[in-house]
Structure 1
């Protein structure tokens, strides 16, 4: 069978480790990796060197025209996704998009319309669906273990290294990332919608900045040149990390992008404390929260149904969720008895989800009884929850989540 031709947009950490390296190694029997484009050519060339010399293109349009790829993998900055996705679809390519698919309602609509016009397909890489722990929860719900699900309490907490990191870089401005309610929470909103097999209906959200941003604290422009390195809790020397030093410090001369911008910069306008109350079409209610300055990293949730309650969650020792302290689901029956359900601990990024997701989307022929592969409508819903939550915070009121299924090609499963 002839291998499909793939090209990659983006040369940051996620692009390198999630897509480029695997396409050049573990997936090479199924993937013909033909090219990479990033506006920062230094990063693109470094990625190429680590991936066996895959061709580097200075122009995205030129790469599409020369390679004529079957599939374009989009792993660039969030605010650029819609441009690359739409152009790829119009060029007759399928698209694999890193999440979030995009950052606001307008861009979401444009992507879905382009997909319908082109007749091509978008796959969104929601790796948490493939992590065995999250998949086990889906299995239990599908099996009717707790009956009809009425309510979910879901809390995610980023530690003061991982959480702070979003405020050092391009993610810290709403125009670039949609804030953490889009960039980060898209993971979580998708998982909940997937567990419930329902789409969002309406929500009200709250958000604030309590730790990062202009808090009146002494500050510099960036950690590398700061006068407060000995007194700032958040000082970080990125030159000590080889990847950071090569891919970012060594590439600054091209675009002026600093990877260690001050956490108290006045340009920061995203929230570090967030809460969303959401109603689903099924009638289930969600209470969601995210903080980006916790003493430790992890999440916890309680899922309440007509026949019982599941308590789930983990504490992580790494930002990519590869180091897990435990993997146990607590099942509370209505009669007051409790069962501990052990889930085998998985190594690898996102609790073992990254590798399983790659195998499903690149290798093909993998059975999908849980519906783990996500289409553009799933990508749209998870993005819209965060985008509409941002609007709710700004306007201070309850808002409807737009239903874009009439634009998409197929009904959300």
Structure 2
């Protein structure tokens, strides 16, 4: 269904780095404004109020999480935007739906089946819906893939192979932060691969039925770092001499945003943004192989590597009448000195490469389909998504685009989550896991 333009008085839950893109996008549109922040760390919230002032807006009230419902009423909130720790999303989604306000949440919608069922039950009970900000849907190259498949250019899709490579700056960053514990993020199968699982669900217009996989911590962590010769002995980089010679360390005092919202805010909550990626307490995988069967009969093999020298992805579709290949090189290589990539999604990665979409029908020569490569955040997806969610910028017309411009709903969020949750369970139990076992009320 077509989603209405959101906005109006927007309350933002969570003042981490991802909130910055939304603050800029909201303030730039006269029809929307930031009405309040919900954030437990006052230093972090103060930084975002200073950002509002620098953009020509006024400071807004800051509420602690326990005052969330009070904020909705007192500030006459029309839209809630949730950008906090993944595992906490449901704590705000459910009461916001019950209050009848518009709900936007960063992906993943949540992190496990129980929380997902709670959200879906609330949607069914209230008849209110939410939007999950799957920005990859808005990338024009991904739209081209969707159109090509939907037009039947390769016939019925029989199988898909998806290889995703995270490099040793961007990929390593998930092992420095709160994401390194599965209780916070659901692991990379949920936090990161949810992007891709949503894309494949949407590309195939089908539902995942069965998942089996193997995942392990193969590169990061103390044992692996010692074995491969990368490990350094420190807990976090700030104040450590050893970290100064660690190619995997980041130094948050040298980056203005990271200093303001993390280094300067440590005194309130003790959160360290610069932890050692070769520490002994990492609880997520960095190398995962998954096999998925869909309701359409198609299968997907998916592999995520979080320690690659380059970053990007390759997707191959095999159909009854041909083959479609997508290759995107987001970064051809990385250097330890690169600071880009620490603010994921705000700009292109350093050393950006190209993209290619190749169509080859049976008995025909391959042809590279014409594409426009956009090196802005998420391949141009963020700009288009903001335009869809909050309306066009002044003086601009909203790009209509494809059917992909319909925002992802709670159903899409649940289906993307389902693949990651089933994969995690398969890693744990060593068995095939079925969608029906999750008990989602779609």
User: TM bucket by the smaller chain?
Assistant: over 0.9
Alpha carbons 2:35, 2:61 under 8 Å: kept: no
SS at match of 2:172: helix
Return the alpha-carbon distance in structure 1 between the equivalents of residues 421 and 314 of structure 2: 23
C-alpha distance 281-221 of structure 1, shift in aligned 2 (>3 A): same
Alpha carbons 2:158, 2:298 under 8 Å: kept: yes
Equivalent residue number for residue 234 of structure 2: 220
Matched residues, number: 405
Alpha carbons 1:198, 1:281 under 8 Å: kept: yes
For residues 169-221 of structure 1, the C-alpha deviation after alignment (integer angstroms, 9 at most, x for no partner) is 10000100000000000000000100000010001011011111231544211
Shift of 1:236: 2.1
1:53 aligns with 2:58: yes
1:354 aligns with 2:404: no
Return the alpha-carbon distance in structure 2 between the equivalents of residues 325 and 153 of structure 1: 21
For residues 370-409 of structure 1, the C-alpha deviation after alignment (integer angstroms, 9 at most, x for no partner) is 244211000001111111110100000111023879724x
350-359 or 60-69, which deviates more: 60-69
Equivalent residue number for residue 411 of structure 1: none
Shift of 1:348: 2.1
SS at match of 2:242: coil
Return the alpha-carbon distance in structure 1 between the equivalents of residues 138 and 127 of structure 2: 27
CA RMSD of aligned residues (A): 2.0
68-77 or 319-328, which deviates more: 319-328
C-alpha distance 374-2 of structure 1, shift in aligned 2 (>3 A): closer
Match of 1:89 among 81, 97, 115: 97
Structure 1: any 5+ residue segments left out of the alignment?
A: 409-413
Equivalent residue number for residue 35 of structure 1: 36
Match of 1:396 among 400, 419, 430: 430
Match of 2:198 among 169, 190, 203: 190
Q: Which runs of 4+ in 1 moved over 4 A?
A: 364-369, 403-406
Equivalent residue number for residue 23 of structure 2: 20
1:335 aligns with 2:356: no
For residues 130-189 of structure 1, the C-alpha deviation after alignment (integer angstroms, 9 at most, x for no partner) is 000111000101111111001110001000000000000100001000000000000000
Alpha carbons 1:123, 1:375 under 8 Å: kept: yes
Alpha carbons 2:329, 2:355 under 8 Å: kept: no
Shift of 1:41: 1.6
Return the alpha-carbon distance in structure 1 between the equivalents of residues 148 and 439 of structure 2: 27
Equivalent residue number for residue 10 of structure 1: 14
Return the alpha-carbon distance in structure 2 between the equivalents of residues 55 and 117 of structure 1: 32
Equivalent residue number for residue 377 of structure 1: 411
1:363 aligns with 2:391: yes
Match of 2:73 among 65, 79, 100: 65
Q: How does 1:8-407 map to 2 (within 5 A)?
A: 8-17=12-21, 19-25=22-28, 27=29, 29-51=30-52, 52-59=57-64, 60-215=68-223, 216=226, 217-317=231-331, 319=341, 320=345, 322=348, 324-363=352-391, 367=400, 369-372=402-405, 373-402=407-436, 407=441
Return the alpha-carbon distance in structure 1 between the equivalents of residues 243 and 283 of structure 2: 24
TM-score, normalization by structure 1: 0.93
Shift of 1:32: 3.2
TM-score, normalization by structure 2: 0.87
214-223 or 159-168, which deviates more: 214-223
SS at match of 1:402: helix
SS at match of 2:164: strand
C-alpha distance 57-406 of structure 1, shift in aligned 2 (>3 A): same
Alpha carbons 1:329, 1:340 under 8 Å: kept: yes
SS at match of 1:123: strand
Alpha carbons 1:199, 1:281 under 8 Å: kept: yes
Shift of 1:322: 2.7
SS at match of 2:377: coil
58-67 or 379-388, which deviates more: 58-67
Shift of 1:90: 1.4
Return the alpha-carbon distance in structure 2 between the equivalents of residues 350 and 361 of structure 1: 16
Alpha carbons 1:327, 1:342 under 8 Å: kept: no
Return the alpha-carbon distance in structure 1 between the equivalents of residues 7 and 329 of structure 2: 40
SS at match of 2:264: helix
SS at match of 1:229: helix
Return the alpha-carbon distance in structure 2 between the equivalents of residues 174 and 405 of structure 1: 21
